[in-house]
């Protein structure tokens, strides 16, 4: 089965998505997600100008070889643009293989290890009361695991706390907006928030929190320690992630479980974190990590060190990545939880899919391949609109960490 053509589509049904479609001489096509939030068109060019010409004529069944060809053959390894492009190719090829063999992708990955995929939802509130109310909505929808983020008293806007409810969107159209940050206010407020949540909802739910890389190691250690009485499921992205050794200090001081990895893109970002058992959950997305093929290796290596997965599932990953993640989560042994931020109805209409949600759990469905399609006609009605993630500054104007 030879690859005959591949096309890239950019569409903005409320937010931008980049989709790759690979066609074969068997009449089967596969689709992959290539969306890199705020840098979308760089991946479009990478695919159209540099990757697609190398794919034509290759055997679509050789997924591992094509992945290695793109990774090793480029000479310039790693990086979010390169890895997102490779991920789109990889997802599309798994989709094609599933369709060709008439089986869902999870069957190709070893089959079901569980009957359903536990997901966590994002409860965001402007303040303490609002956040309690938002968490309550997720409790009512049957979620077992809920991430709570809150605006901070004294700060005008906070990254990770959306304006909309249920459909939180991190990017904004136009040029990057600017947020103002104060770490002391955050460190004082956050333990109060989780104390209030436990008082309100008891101990039954898993509670999660994302620090969005805004702390130093010693601050992360303090927050982890102060959150211990509220036994979080995880504390995510405490420090900027480039320096894996940072986690040694945090780990020495707290038993709060730690999660990291949504900005990572290869297994080499984890070697110290894994081998020294410095984290509890690996957070990469299938998309940023180069696709299903390399992410299997990351998950397997994590499993050796008692680390589970909690893969990225934000709205800036299209339903194609969401589907791929659900097949992956159903199959691997050391699955922990899957992030699930709902897409808008406009997005869901452009990407008709078989995956379903029921009371805090998701199911990829049994359609052959990934079980997601792409409506080209509808997509064409939503042209690309430049959008960026916000930047973050301290109150005196200093550019600050994400």
Q: Which residue number, 29 or 335, has a Cβ lying nearer to ligand EZ4?
A: 335
Q: What string marks each residue from 250 to 269 as x (binds Co ion by CB under 5 A) or -?
A: ------------x-------
Q: What string marks each residue from 312 to 341 as x (binds ligand EZ4 by CB under 6 A) or -?
A: --x-x----------------------x--
* Lateral strand order in the sheet of 17-24: 3-11, 17-24, 29-33
Kindly report each contact of residues 6-9 with a partner whose C-beta sits within 8 Å and lies 24 or more positions away, as own/partner: 6/47, 6/52, 6/55, 6/56, 6/89, 6/92, 8/34, 8/44, 8/47, 8/48, 8/52, 9/374, 9/376, 9/379
Q: Which residue number, 97 or 209, has a Cβ lying nearer to ligand EZ4?
A: 209
Tokens of residue 41, six digits:
């068109």
CB 31 within 8 A of CB 373: yes
Site for ligand EZ4 (CB under 6 A): how many residues? 8
Binding flag, residue 265, ligand EZ4 (CB under 6 A): no
Answer yes or no: 159 catalytic.
Answer: yes
Tokens of residue 192, six digits:
């109060």
Interface positions, 222-261, toward ligand EZ4 (CB under 6 A): none
389's contact among ligand EZ4, Co ion, none, with CB below 5 to 8 A by partner kind, is ligand EZ4
Nearest approach, Cβ of 39 to Co ion (angstroms)? 17
* CA proximity to 390, closest of 96, 159, 192, 195: 159
Backbone phi, psi, residue 148, to 5°: -115, 125
Nearest approach, Cβ of 223 to Co ion (angstroms)? 15
DSSP string, 75-101: SS---HHHHHHHHHHHHHHHHHHHHHH
CB 128 within 8 A of CB 199: no
User: Rounded distance, CA 344 to CA 13, Å?
Assistant: 8
Q: Which of 11, 16, 37, 158 binds ligand EZ4 (CB under 6 A)?
A: 37
- Positions of E strands within 92-226: 117-125, 145-150, 172-173, 178-181, 206-210
Q: Which of 30, 125, 170, 371 binds ligand EZ4 (CB under 6 A)?
A: 170
Residue with the closest Cβ to ligand EZ4? 314
Residue with the closest Cβ to Co ion? 210
Q: Which of 205, 212, 327, 343 is catalytic?
A: 212
Return all residues near 383 (Cβ < 8 A) that are at least 6 apart: 10, 11, 12
Binding flag, residue 262, ligand EZ4 (CB under 6 A): yes
Q: Which residue number, 197 or 284, has a Cβ lying nearer to ligand EZ4?
A: 284
Binding flag, residue 392, ligand EZ4 (CB under 6 A): no
Interface positions, 192-251, toward Co ion (CB under 5 A): 210
In the beta sheet, which residues pair with residue 21?
Answer: 7, 31
Nearest approach, Cβ of 318 to ligand EZ4 (angstroms)? 12
Interface residues with Co ion (CB under 5 A)? Answer: 210, 262
Interface residues with ligand EZ4 (CB under 6 A)? Answer: 37, 170, 210, 262, 314, 316, 339, 389
So which residues are the catalytic ones?
A: 159, 212
């Amino acid at each position: 089965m030879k690859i005959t053509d591949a096309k890239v589509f950019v569409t903005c049904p409320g937010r931008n998505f980049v989709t790759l479609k690979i066609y074969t001489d068997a009449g089967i096509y596969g689709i992959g997600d290539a969306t890199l939030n705020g840098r979308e068109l760089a991946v479009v060019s990478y695919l159209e100008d540099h990757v697609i010409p190398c794919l034509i004529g290759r055997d679509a069944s050789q997924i591992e070889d094509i992945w290695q060809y793109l990774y090793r053959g480029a000479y310039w390894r790693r990086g979010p643009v390169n890895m997102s492009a490779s991920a789109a190719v990889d997802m599309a090829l798994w989709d094609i293989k599933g369709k060709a063999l008439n089986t869902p992708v999870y069957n190709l990955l070893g089959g079901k290890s569980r009957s359903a995929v536990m997901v966590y939802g994002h409860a965001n509130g402007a303040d303490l009361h609002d956040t309690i109310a938002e968490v309550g909505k997720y409790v009512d929808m049957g979620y077992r695991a809920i991430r709570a983020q809150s605006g901070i008293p004294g700060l005008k806007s906070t990254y990770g706390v959306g304006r909309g409810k249920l459909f939180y969107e991190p990017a904004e159209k136009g040029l990057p907006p600017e947020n103002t940050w104060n770490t002391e206010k955050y460190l004082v407020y956050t333990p109060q928030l989780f104390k209030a949540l436990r008082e309100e909802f008891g101990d039954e739910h898993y509670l999660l929190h994302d620090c969005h890389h805004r702390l130093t190691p010693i601050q992360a250690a303090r927050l982890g320690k102060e959150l211990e009485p509220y036994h979080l499921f995880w504390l995510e992205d405490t420090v900027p992630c480039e320096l894996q050794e940072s986690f040694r200090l945090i780990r020495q001081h707290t038993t709060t479980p730690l999660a990291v990895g949504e900005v990572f893109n290869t297994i080499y970002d984890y070697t110290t974190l894994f081998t020294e058992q410095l984290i509890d959950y690996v957070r990469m997305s299938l998309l940023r990590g180069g696709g299903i093929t390399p992410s299997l290796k990351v998950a397997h290596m994590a499993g050796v060190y008692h680390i589970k997965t909690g893969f990225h599932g934000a709205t800036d990953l299209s339903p194609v990545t969401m589907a791929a993640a659900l097949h992956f989560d159903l199959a691997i042994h050391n699955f922990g939880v899957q992030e699930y931020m709902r897409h808008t109805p406009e997005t869901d209409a452009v990407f008709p899919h078989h995956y379903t949600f029921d009371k805090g759990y998701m199911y990829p469905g049994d359609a052959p391949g990934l079980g997601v399609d792409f409506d080209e006609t509808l997509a064409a009605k939503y042209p690309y609109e430049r959008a960026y993630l916000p930047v973050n500054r301290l109150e005196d104007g200093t550019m600050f960490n994400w």
